[in-house]
DNA sequence: ATAATTGCAAATTTTTTGCAGGTTC
DNA sequence: GAACCTGCAAAAAATTTGCAATTAT
């Protein structure tokens, strides 16, 4: 991802410095909490308000630009919209990594929901444990 | 589940009316928010305090008796500990249903983490969409 | 009897809101 | 210039804490 301005425009949002900063922070981190988005931006743009981050995350979520990743025993993180995937969540350091979902699994999910007449829209698959790095230390 | 007293004892917790009520509410609902646990108990035990529910959910979570089910765009719900499974989450009515995870999926996850030297402890798989009932109406 | 647990009230933290001034298109 | 956005401060909501009284073992 690079052209954040177009991304905003495509979703009917005005192009502000604050918004570009928010998207940039999410894109850079991959997965990041609201608080951490704010902390990152405030360094180089001290006048930004936390309320602005909250408002924009809400808007971007509603427009489907950003997706909330709720995490057990932690605050939600946010990611830019992407295809369904699997999260490796380290319970020690809190890191979140994406892994591709295979067609096989996708298919399995589709079979599962079909059986129940559940209309599937998206999936979130969190694998909790310890990342390589934390496990080694 | 039926013998809530033994469940508490097994986790080293004293057997109080409040705790049994909390576990009973979770067991009955399957998945329920802290607020709703409180609302359900206060009807027949008006002196219970919301703080007690909070404190106990925290304790039970730490002891592994109860598991937090974080949900995108909603408050976390709680369930009694059980084997890993899949959640069907209706984005209209908020209902959560459990579906068994198959050996196929388990196996897929295990292969995936092995490849990354990630130490897998548990999984949470949320399928978001619309349940049969809401979809029909 | 002892240690744990509860309920209350207050404190803290998190999130939302209203609005005046500023900015984008 | 119109509609949209921002920052601030205040409000509301959610969660945690301290402590005296109560309860379980």
**Which residues, including other chains, have CB under 8 Å from residue A95's CB and lie 6 or more apart?**
A88, A89, A131
- From the list B68, B104, B119, which residue is nearest A129 (CB)? B119
Which stretches of chain B are DSSP H helices? 4-10, 17-29, 34-44, 50-62, 103-116, 132-136
CA-wise closest residue to A130 among B121, B61, B67:
B121
Average pLDDT, chain B: 96
Does B44 or A136 have the greater pLDDT score? B44
Residue A115: φ, ψ to 5°: -60, -30
pTM: 0.95
Q: Which residue is nearest to nucleotide D8 (CA to C1')?
A: A49
Q: Domains, chain A, ranges and CATH? A: 4-79 (1.10.10.10), 83-136 (3.30.1490.190)
* Tokens describing residue A52: 């602005």
Whether the per-residue pLDDT at A125 is higher than 80: the answer is yes
pLDDT score of A137 more than 90: no
Write the pLDDT tens digit of every residue in A84-124: 999 999 999 999 999 999 999 999 999 999 999 999 999 99
Q: Which nt sits closest to B49, CA to C1'?
A: C7
Which nucleotide is at minimal CA–C1' distance from A12? D4
A9 touches strand D (CB under 7 A): no
Structure tokens at A31: 């997965």
How confident is the model at residue A2, as a pLDDT?
62
> How far is it, in rounded angstroms, from Cα B79 to Cα B67?
5
Whether any strand C atom is under 7 angstroms from the Cβ of B13: the reply reads yes
Minimum CA–CA partner of A128 in chain B: B122
Check CB contact of A63 with chain B, cutoff 8 Å.
no
């Amino acid at each position: 991802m690079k052209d954040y301005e177009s991304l905003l425009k495509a979703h009917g949002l005005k192009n502000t410095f604050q918004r570009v900063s928010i998207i940039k922070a999410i894109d850079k981190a991959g997965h990041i909490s609201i608080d951490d988005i704010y902390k990152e931006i405030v360094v180089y743009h001290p006048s930004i308000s936390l309320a602005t981050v909250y408002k924009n995350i809400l808007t971007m979520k509603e427009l489907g630009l950003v997706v909330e990743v709720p995490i057990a025993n932690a605050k939600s993180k946010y990611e830019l919209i992407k295809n369904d995937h699997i999260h490796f969540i380290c319970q020690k350091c809190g890191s979140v990594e994406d892994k591709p979902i295979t067609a096989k699994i996708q298919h399995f999910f589709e079979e599962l929901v079909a059986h129940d007449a559940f209309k599937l829209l998206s999936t979130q698959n969190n694998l909790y444990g310890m990342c390589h790095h934390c496990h080694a230390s």
